[in-house]
Amino acid sequence: MTSYSLGVLLFLVLLSFSLESQQLHGHSFKLSSEETGSYHVGAKGTRWAVLVAGSNGYENYRHQADVCHAYQLLRKGGLKDENIIVFMYDDIAFNVQNPRPGIIINRPQGEDVYEGVPKDYTGHNANVHNLYAVILANKTALTGGSGKVLDSGPEDHIFIYYTDHGSPGVLAMPYDDYVYANDLIDVLKKKHESNTFKSMVFYLEACESGSMFEGLLPEGLNIYATTAANAVENSFVTYCPDDYPHVAPEYDTCLGDLYSVSWMEDSDKHDLRTETLEQQYEVVRRRTSNEYPENGSHVMQYGNLSLRKKSLYDYLGTNPANENYTFMRHDSSTSISKPVSQHDADLLHFWHKFRKAPKGSEKKLEAQKQLIDELNQRLHIDHIMMFIAKLLFESENGLLMLETVRPAGQPLVDDWNCLKTLVRTYEEHCGSLSRYGMTYMRAIANMCNAGVKMEQMAMASAQACMGTTLIHAAPSTMN
């Protein structure tokens, strides 16, 4: 995982570049089978979908673009708005940095995917508590939003798609608390126990996303899940500035995530009656790993693997315009740009803002400050976490705790309450863990696995955060 040396190296590499010369609605309703234009599963059953973009901020443009694209795909496939529930902060389309106000694209020269997207749970309503309430169809637990929930029945099929930042055992949400792996699995178990779906497919885009299911998702829930990465690696973003295929120069942020655009672009062009979940898994797996092995991830699958033989049509429907486009095993997708790590995408955005701003302008100074602040925060967190590890384990060997990985098939941590407690304790003394700090979730889980108690974490965090000095990037080196 992340280490202090890697953080310093990234810092020095970025600052070594010549910035001027280099380019770098109410209630939910079930659809009746006789409604015209609605594709249903066999003789009975309704398709449902929950789409979640777990971030906010223009630097994370791609996550909301992914979700908006998924919505358009499902609508073309025959799902109705009543059966599609969307979580997104909704601060991108009309963001002052968006070069095309009111329009979101998910690929270079792509069509607008924002138009018509339901605003079910936006802003502070896009939180983990509402997400769980929606999945469990618990309207009384909702705190704002449209009120739509997964009011599914025993013959229905559910598709859940999540895209955002993640780290070992957790996913981010735009507001409030994290999605912890054990809590998510408990919610899925409760949904299964309620006998309100026949089968479920879960597509998950995030770094270390495999850790959300590995050793946790039982086979007997009739849930099939695929993840953008295994339990120990980053996922990657694509369609980034100054890369091939050409992204319009006014965009200084990445437009999509590699795993996500892979499954959606595959779905966009095929008759999904003829393509199985397993076939799409193989397409996405090849595209995210083989095309750029040094900058790719390993797509994984979990849960009830027998569902792989089912048609994508059962969950996504199909676009009638693709009726004659049959899936072919060796059908190749459009070439994509060289991927960038999810963890570096923020830096890339701030870098391009700085590089493009006129020399000596206020925009230049503002962009420089954003870039330096992000680098300083990362270095600061690296320093704190290493100091805490040394204090807790009283030796340099304590640093090994930051990156120790449990054997494949084991969950991240034995005591999830301990993990939550240590995270809260750290944040009480050191402030928010932040997106970058989430990369240390494995280190904190390892502390739990080693028997560290809340009181020990409190003492170490207090000492580390009172005694640290920020390492500052020098503005004079950037021009």
Residues that are catalytic: 165, 207
Of the candidates 476, 378, 455, 469, the residue with the CA atom closest to the CA atom of residue 15: 476
The token duo for 321 is 């315009």
Of the candidates 120, 107, 37, 28, the residue with the CA atom closest to the CA atom of residue 317: 37
Three-class secondary structure of residue 225 per DSSP: strand
Q: How far apart are CA 17 and CA 302, in angstroms?
A: 42
403, 421 Cβ separation under 8 angstroms: no
The token duo for 399 is 């640093």
Of the candidates 272, 256, 237, 287, the residue with the CA atom closest to the CA atom of residue 110: 256
Listed in sequence order, the residues at least 6 apart from 165 whose beta carbon sits closer than 8 Å to its beta carbon are 54, 55, 60, 171, 172, 206, 207, 342, 435, 438
87, 52 Cβ separation under 8 angstroms: yes
The token duo for 189 is 């178990």
Q: How far apart are CA 268 and CA 244, in angstroms?
A: 21
Q: How far apart are CA 76 and CA 321, in angstroms?
A: 9
The dihedral region occupied by 409, where left means phi > 0, alpha psi between -120 and 50, and beta the remainder, is left
Q: Which residue has the tokens 């792989």?
A: 308
Q: Which H/E stretch holds residue 16?
A: helix 4-16
Listed in sequence order, the residues at least 6 apart from 63 whose beta carbon sits closer than 8 Å to its beta carbon are 53, 54, 55, 88, 163, 164, 257
Residue 142 burial (CB count, 10 A)? 17
Q: How far apart are CA 11 and CA 374, in angstroms?
A: 10
Of the candidates 276, 158, 280, the residue with the CA atom closest to the CA atom of residue 223: 158
Q: How far apart are CA 279 and CA 118, in angstroms?
A: 30
Three-class secondary structure of residue 319 per DSSP: coil
Q: How far apart are CA 292 and CA 97, in angstroms?
A: 30
